[in-house]
Structure 1
């Protein structure tokens, strides 16, 4: 076995975060061990009398703790010296008598042979110590401490964490409540004085927040104070809990700033959405049609990719279109604006609906290959009431005739999927007072529900809404019945009423 010097053992214990001492045996003339003297101690080592670290060096076990003689712990010390093998003495009950009153503590001690002596490492197990440890740990986690101020003899007691909150050394002692204004922010001093005055006259705890100065910096604390009274109702003692809420306060301020920025961004987004896609407040007329439009932004992302177009073209033709760019935010809105402007230009260039979709697909593939979109595009001729329409992966146009709803189904692949695609169109002659509904999937989409189920529910709701209405009421009845199913997605709705008079000369 390698022998170590006292200095070496001390250095070893200094580096260990435990309570431990190294002791050498004291022998009598026959060589029998009669005591152990502490030669080195860890900084955290604390005995039953409160002596700490190097204060333990030089103490002899039997002299300092007489009741240890003949105890299970003493017998363990002797066995380790004899066998050279480590041993644990679990739940050793130690009794010391002070002021004629026995005090019992419970310990777990690990005894290890080291360099001709023994290292004793211990943990206190009795409930009082464990409770104190738990309270101290709780105070540290919550950054709060407790205090007691006697109004009779001026005695003050603070928990360790209260010293830490106020940046005070234990040697400075605790702070009297009457001295508290000296460290309180001037604007908060009236609040503090009012709370202290109310303690004497008002039953129950007083809770208040203060700003205090600690080591040159400002801290925010929350105090809850309550008075204990004697039998005559006179205040005798103040008990209180004080918590450092500086981190919480900083987080609250940062959150308020973030919310302010989000509110400003939301308002800017709403204005931008209205600039890109201004929804009319009331129905408007274009040749042969009365148009009503409604846009519902997503609750979580007010800037979306849904769009519509309804515009009078040359030769007394009308363009009707609704589309949906996947995603939200500026990227989706930018792609939406490009498609909406492109479709208008293509329509004025007298492209047919199928040709328009081919061009829109090419535009997406060239300018935004990361974006997918759907669209339904229609050209309406008021002269003969012929509707020519085509789809690109979009929900079908709904035709409301009388009190029945018909789905105008037509095949067509999404925009932006393939480089080269072709689309076909279908034609239908409309009747006066027919209604056409174009919409995006937010109207029928709901988590956990099939889109076809949503479409069935929409058709049923429309049939119920128009049943028994007059021709003049039908457009408003349908608009009132259209409520988005998915508030996390934006929704665009366009309803066109076929006006009964002939607008050929318009």
Structure 2
């Protein structure tokens, strides 16, 4: 209905259609942007996400989408009403209620559930935030009550039932909200104050709806209150969305301290277990590995780097290690356990400790893998792991190595590279009885050995996931770096080139890379 005016209020001009079209376009653009950033309800495996923070972000996005849907609906109503009024003015030279297609409330075509109008749901099947908005007028002089069609739908009534009078309205309001309604109506009719109140009603179908009542007194020529008009919106979906956001936010608030403590503990555990040296290291340092100064030839120049996951804030179970052994040999290893958090970090610590202990005791890589498999298979927290262990003897320049479901080392020599042929070996913890083999490779002065974990290449560049921006799997892209490795003067320079190649992708898992160069 055309809004009544207070005695001291002048009529405003209807908005131009072009301005409304621009606002509607902006609302649609914003809605599309929210859809683009809304977290998915299911993860990559199709499972329902249980992350409270993700659910909270999604609830906030849903709330914003609901609000924009409601805004777009009412802008459309306003545009339809303005068009109808303009047509009526040009044809009849008047701005009466008949200009709105016979609707005495002036809400215009396209509102609510009217035929030819927009359905009560949005295009993606969700109910709009404020499913309907209707208007009403209660005339105090004639006791006449006028309701728009939308208001009947909000209250679950039909036109045959008729509108509710001000005396009947409180019986529909929940008992605890009835004093609020009485105070609002009294203030409006007696003191001329506007109404801005939210109430809850129970419909005949026992559904409880939250309604926002926005109204004003209608004054006669003498300034006395002659009627009360109001716009009533169903904000039930809004309130439910807000409640969901509050509940999830509270869940996140309660769970955040334990989660932060777990992340800190996992990171500290990982930091304490990985080798204390960072950057480059020479093994043996200065030829003091137990075989005299003549043993300096064949020493290893070692460098490494840890690349954290971009998709998980929790520390994982990946490791790298370079350990000088009695007699001058060197242990090189890399590997990882499934999962993230304290369990993965503690499992990695146990596994790496076992590797170091057995290597110091002189256990060969082949037998070492078998012991690791039995250790992981009998663990209280079952997990799968992969590993590669290499024993390098500098006198003979021999590299003896074994692997368990892990990427094989890459050997670079003379400007070219190749992947070493792997011996037999399945994932650690996959079966209690597993056979592991070992291979021996004779190295030369200047050879470069690269060990890495299987999370080195970002997810979209793994086999079967496309080639991504750079193209190729991790071994293929490492082999393509052979010319750069031959130009590098140290293992550290080679590691820096690997990080430049792999460090910018959206990595799903943590990754480690270790480079060892044989000194001449």
TM-score tier, shorter chain, comes to: 0.5 to 0.7
Determine which of 467, 474, 480 is the counterpart of 2:494: 474
Q: Against the structure 1 CA distance between its residues 358 and 135, is the aligned structure 2 distance closer, same or farther, given a 3 Å change threshold?
A: closer
* CA deviation vs aligned residue, 1:367-406 (integer Å, no higher than 9, x gap): 3694332210012345554432221221111123454222
Cα distance between partner residues in 2 of 1:137 and 1:475: 60
Correspondence 1:160 to 2:160: no
Structure 1 partner of 2:455: 442
Q: Per the alignment, do residues 424 and 492 of structure 1 end up closer, same or farther by CA in structure 2, a change over 3 Å counting? A: same
2:263 matches 1:251? no
Q: Which residue number corresponds to residue 317 of structure 2?
A: 305
Per the alignment, residue 8 of structure 1 pairs with none
Q: CA deviation at 1:274?
A: 2.0
- Residue 498 (1) aligns with residue 517 (2): yes
Specify every segment of 5 or more residues in structure 1 that has no aligned partner in the other structure, as ranges.
Answer: 1-129, 182-192, 200-207, 502-506
Q: Displacement of 1:495 after TM fit?
A: 2.0
Distance 2:351 2:235 in 1: 58
Q: CA deviation at 1:285?
A: 1.5
What is the CA distance between 1:500 and its match in structure 2?
Answer: 3.7
Distance in 2 between the 1:318 and 1:164 partners? 86
Residue 339 of structure 1 deviates from its aligned partner by: 1.2
**In 1, are the aligned partners of 2:453 and 2:513 still within 8 Å (CA)?**
no
- Aligned residue in 2 for 1:390: 402
The secondary structure found in structure 2 opposite 1:297 is coil
Q: Map of 1:245-394 to 2, 5 A cutoff? A: 245-261=238-254, 263-278=256-271, 282-287=278-283, 288-297=300-309, 299-300=311-312, 302-328=314-340, 331-367=343-379, 370-382=382-394, 385-394=397-406
Q: Distance in 2 between matches of 1:152 and 1:419?
A: 89
SS in 1 for 2:317: strand
Conserved 8 A contact 1:410-1:426: no
Aligned mates of 1:358, 1:492 — CA distance in 2: 24
| Alignment RMSD (CA, Å) | 5.1
CA shift for structure 1 position 342: 0.9
TM-score if structure 1 supplies the norm length? 0.53
* Greater RCO, CA 8 A, separation 6+: 2
8 Å Cα contact 2:387/2:404 also seen in 1: yes
* Bigger strand share: 1
Aligned runs of 1:62-461 on 2, under 5 Å?
Answer: 146=133, 148=135, 160=155, 166-167=173-174, 177=184, 223=212, 225=214, 237-244=229-236, 245-261=238-254, 263-278=256-271, 282-287=278-283, 288-297=300-309, 299-300=311-312, 302-328=314-340, 331-367=343-379, 370-382=382-394, 385-401=397-413, 403-414=415-426, 415-416=428-429, 417-432=431-446, 434-444=447-457, 446=462, 448-449=464-465, 454-455=473-474, 457-461=476-480
In 2: Cα distance, 1:148 partner to 1:450 partner: 57
Q: Report the more deviating stretch, 294-303 or 445-454.
A: 445-454
Deviations 1:20-42 (A, max 9, x none): xxxxxxxxxxxxxxxxxxxxxxx
* Counterpart secondary structure, 1:390: strand
Change beyond 3 A, Cα 1:259–1:220: farther
What displacement does 1:283 show? 0.6
d(CA) in 2 for partners of 1:450, 1:137: 42
State the number of aligned residues: 340
Rg (Cα) greater in structure: 1
**SS state of the match for residue 371, structure 1?**
coil
Question: 1:343: how far off?
Answer: 0.7
Report if aligned partners of 2:198, 2:213 keep a CA contact under 8 Å in 1.
Answer: no
DSSP-derived class of the 2:383 partner: coil
What is the alpha-carbon distance in structure 1 between the residues aligned to residue 511 and residue 334 of structure 2?
Answer: 7
- Cα deviation, 1:278-327, whole Å, max 9, x if unaligned, reads 26794142423332221423625734332222233333332221112234
The CA distance in 2 between the partners of 1:296 and 1:426, in whole Å, is 32
Q: For structure 2, which runs of at least 5 residues remain unmatched after alignment?
A: 1-112, 122-126, 157-168, 203-207, 284-299
Tell me the distance in 1 between the aligned counterparts of 2:171 and 2:301.
Answer: 76
Q: Which moved more, 1:412-421 or 1:338-347?
A: 412-421
Partner of 2:304, secondary structure, is: strand
Tell me if structure 1 keeps the 8 A contact 2:463–2:473: no
* Distance change >3 Å, CA 131–CA 345, structure 1 → 2: same
